[in-house]
Amino acid sequence: MSSTPELNEDDMVSFLPHRLNRQPVVVRGLTADELWICVGLSALAGLLLGLPLAWLTSTIALIPSMIVAAIAFGIFVGGSALRRRKRGRPDTWLYRQLQWHIALGHPLLSPWVGGDTLVTRSGYWTTRRGRP
């Protein structure tokens, strides 16, 4: 008798899912988190454009109209631009870029987004080993 039990094909994993833990693409090459970032920034831009226009024309309905128009514009233009920039890069590239920009430009906000753990030193690195 054999000490190893017989294995059926149903008991074995015949493939390794390499994309199992990645976020799915939702709209125009953006994942859900990237889409929310794009929508939030576009809505803020629409609000900033809609407030002066509503004040100048005395029509408060321009504010939500500008927000919706800016979100649509931001998703289509921003999604295309971000998809081109992300092509061929790792999944966490966008988040590391945002952390890096915040760590360099706004050091007080850096600990809140995890940018304080990034290496931001520029220059030559040395091991301080010399020839004997």
Cβ atoms 49, 73 nearer than 8 A: no
| pLDDT > 70 fraction of the chain, expressed in percent and rounded | 81
- Sequence ranges of the domains in the chain: 27-86, 88-117
Cβ atoms 42, 78 nearer than 8 A: yes
Does residue 114 surpass a pLDDT of 60? yes
Per 3-state DSSP, the chain is made up of helix, strand and coil in percentages (nearest 5) of 55, 5, 40
| pLDDT at site 34 | 84
Cα separation, 23 vs 29, whole angstroms = 11
Encode pLDDT of 73-113 as tens digits: 999 998 888 888 888 888 788 888 888 888 888 888 888 88
Q: Is the pTM of this model over 0.75?
A: no
Encode pLDDT of 22-81 as tens digits: 777 778 878 888 889 899 999 999 999 999 999 999 999 999 999 999 999 999 998 888
Cα separation, 82 vs 91, whole angstroms = 13
| pLDDT at site 51 | 95
Q: Please name the helix (run of DSSP H) or strand (run of DSSP E) that holds residue 55, with its range, or none.
A: helix 32-57
| pLDDT at site 14 | 67
